[in-house]
Chain A
């Protein structure tokens, strides 16, 4: 029972403070002392591991000249080896094993960064993140932990963002995509598709024994990234003047993808998150389209955009909330 519901319940009955205290206890709205201790312990463990990992990353970035190359490599490698050894000693799903694998995953990135920094490999920044994602994948599978999964997804998306956003000429992805002579908007559909596939994969995993790898929020993270790239692709296409052939294809593909996901969510009747992302994306694309092609100037465009934003968000909110209510009622009946 969340606080909004409890607030309304308490107000409806005009409960006295003692009765509110009892209602909070009965409804489980307040965690017990052992629950609080367990939460604090988990939070401190995670904060501790991430702080140590950040310390290692900061140390590599500091490029301390008084500490020899061998010493720097040795230090990061020791952290990596000790983390892996800890994970073998207390394998996941034990907490120590999972935290150790998170440390190992971050140390892998630090080691790659140190390698690039020391030997001036000339590799682009996106290559560092992409290699990190590839090499660190083993730790994600071994860890079977949503936090590790989120860290991997973040690293992968940073690499995709750096490549597809800035189009550096070099590295694996450049070799793969340089023969494609297509517009940026079409190219941005690639990271969209990758994240959509990951989202579908998380949906599949929830029905297998690997469901610990991908709880609902990881799927939502991947889907949000997919919609982010799709909106970028659509926004890029719609703001071109004139809108070229590739851009029209990209725009239609974006709208088609969003429509397909919306239809899927409507058929599943369980989660409005994909529909909310579709609505947000359409609001952004509509805003950009109006700004770029309405033909109005200054005073008129500000008025049109204000009205569009208010109207589109109101309609979206109304539709989404009606679905939320209907699906909740259905869920309760089921």
Chain B
């Protein structure tokens, strides 16, 4: 929570340094008052999501579109309605919730139409990715843009996964995958997202003042959340595949959750840099979730996983020790 006095102090300091003209107002009140706590956003977001699912079921039963084109038309109409509601009144909680429900229903409808129309999980994931990117730029609402960035990451991860190893998630969990392709595929999925986050954080001062901020801020939050949990979100079912008909098959994609935990910790570092405690909490929870997924995922033995975890622990502690020494030597020099 920020008091107007700190806005006043900031304004005065910027005036003193010549970045603002004398007599500039602090402009704090409305901003402080409209800053919604994360837990209220979650309640509103989840309610909007559920309402969206019911809206879709209602529209589906009312108009009974039987072809992919009919479903796609329903989806486009719902998204257009959502856009209209967002654009009409951006500060009304009711219109925001109604628009979110229409938007979610429209996205479900279009994804279903893509699935029926293409009969391919890869193509569906790729079309969902395009849809989410379009929504990120088009929707005049921060929560909508944030969700679009998050789901674009999930769709991107699924597109690469399906294109590389086939459409059937449970079948490709049983494949034998060498360590090289597993690591390369993971990098192909996540390196661009990590890169995008890094660029957005390091160029923050450039886009904060301009119109790009309307896209960059929610996109940054959505991408950070995707680094926290999207490795798990993009393949939750494989963690539930508990048995193996032919034991001894090694699938090094089992390392993905561990790498997901590492990206969650990276997201925690960026969240700290942005002073965003909510994302920091999600990142820590995401890292623990990924470790639980690593435990359950088939692909190698628990003994090897144990050795991997101990090695990771030793490296992390050694790294922390090195940072501590560096810190101490810098303090001595200072």
B11-53 to A contact mask, C-beta < 8 Å, 1/0: 1011001011000100110111101110110011001101100
Within 8 Å CB of A283, what residues of B? 43, 47
Output the least CB separation between A285 and chain B (Å): 13
- The answer to whether residues A273 and B39 also contact, given A5-B32, A313-B48, A314-B97 and a CB cut-off of 8 A, is yes
Interface presence of B179 (CB below 8 A)? no
Best-buried of B24, B209, B291, B326 by chain A (most CB within 10 Å):
B209
User: What's the Cα separation between A122 and B82 when bound, in Å?
Assistant: 56
CB pair A20 B209 closer than 8 Å: yes
Taken together as a complex, chains A and B put the C-alpha atoms of A17 and B94 apart, in Å, by: 36
Residues of B with C-beta under 8 A to A30: 273, 275
Check A51 against B313 for contact (C-beta < 8 Å): yes
Q: Are B275's CB and A58's CB within 8 A?
A: no
Whether A8 and B302, one on each chain, are in contact in the complex, defined by CB atoms closer than 8 angstroms, is: no
Judged by a CB distance under 8 angstroms, whether B171 is at the interface is no
Q: Does A125 contact B (CB under 8 A)?
A: no
Judging by beta carbons under 8 Å apart, are A313 and B13 in contact?
A: no
Closest to A318 in B: B93
Main secondary structure of the interface of A (DSSP, over half): helix
User: Given A23-B14, A306-B101, A314-B94, are A8 and B27 also a contact pair (CB < 8 Å)?
Assistant: yes
- A19-B19, A58-B305, A59-B303 known; A6 vs B208 contact (CB < 8 Å): yes
In the bound complex, CA of A56 to CA of B307 (Å): 9
Residues of chain B with a CB closer than 8 A to A276's CB:
37, 39-40, 43
Q: Report whether B43 and A51 are in contact in the complex, using a CB–CB cutoff of 8 Å.
A: no
Is A9 a contact of B6 with CB atoms below 8 Å? no
Check A15 against B6 for contact (C-beta < 8 Å).
no
Q: How far is the CA of A30 from the CA of B91 in the complex (A)?
A: 29
The answer to whether B43 and A10 touch across the interface, beta carbons within 8 angstroms, is no
Binds A, one of B57-65, B122-130, B152-160, B239-247: B57-65
With A1-B10, A276-B40, A321-B40 in contact, do A47 and B31 touch (Cβ < 8 Å)? no
Report if A5-B310 is in contact (Cβ < 8 Å); known contacts: A58-B302, A321-B93, A332-B4: no
> Which chain B residues border A44 with CB–CB below 8 Å?
316-317, 319-320, 323
User: Which secondary structure dominates chain B's binding surface?
Assistant: helix
Interface 0/1 of B117-158, CB less than 8 Å to A: 000000000000000000000000000000000000000000
**Known interface pairs A24-B204, A58-B305; A302-B316 also in contact (CB < 8 Å):** no
| Contact indicator per residue, chain A 251-284, by CB within 8 Å of chain B (1) or not (0) | 0000000000000000000001100100110010
- Whether A45 and B317, one on each chain, are in contact in the complex, defined by CB atoms closer than 8 angstroms, is yes
B35 near A2 with CB under 8 A, answer: yes
Chain B residue nearest in CB terms to A313: B47
Give chain A nearest CB distance to B157 CB in angstroms: 23
Which of A132-140, A204-212, A239-247, A323-331 contacts its partner?
A: A323-331
Interface residues of B (CB under 8 A from A): 1-7, 10-11, 13-14, 17, 19-20, 24, 27-28, 30-33, 35-37, 39-40, 43-44, 47-48, 50-51, 54-55, 57-58, 61-62, 93-94, 97-98, 101, 204-206, 208-209, 213, 217, 265, 268-269, 272-276, 281, 287-288, 291, 295, 301-303, 305-310, 312-317, 319-320, 323-324, 326-327, 330
> Can you report 5 A-B residue pairs in the complex whose CB atoms are below 8 A from each other?
A5-B28, A5-B32, A26-B13, A305-B50, A324-B36
A interface residues, Cβ below 8 angstroms from B: 1-24, 26-27, 29-31, 34, 36-45, 47-59, 61-62, 64, 217, 272-273, 276, 279-280, 283, 287, 298-299, 302-303, 305-306, 309-314, 316-318, 320-321, 324-325, 328-329, 331-332
**Ranked 9 nearest A-B pairs via Cβ:** A51-B313, A48-B316, A313-B47, A52-B313, A48-B317, A55-B310, A55-B309, A62-B302, A58-B306
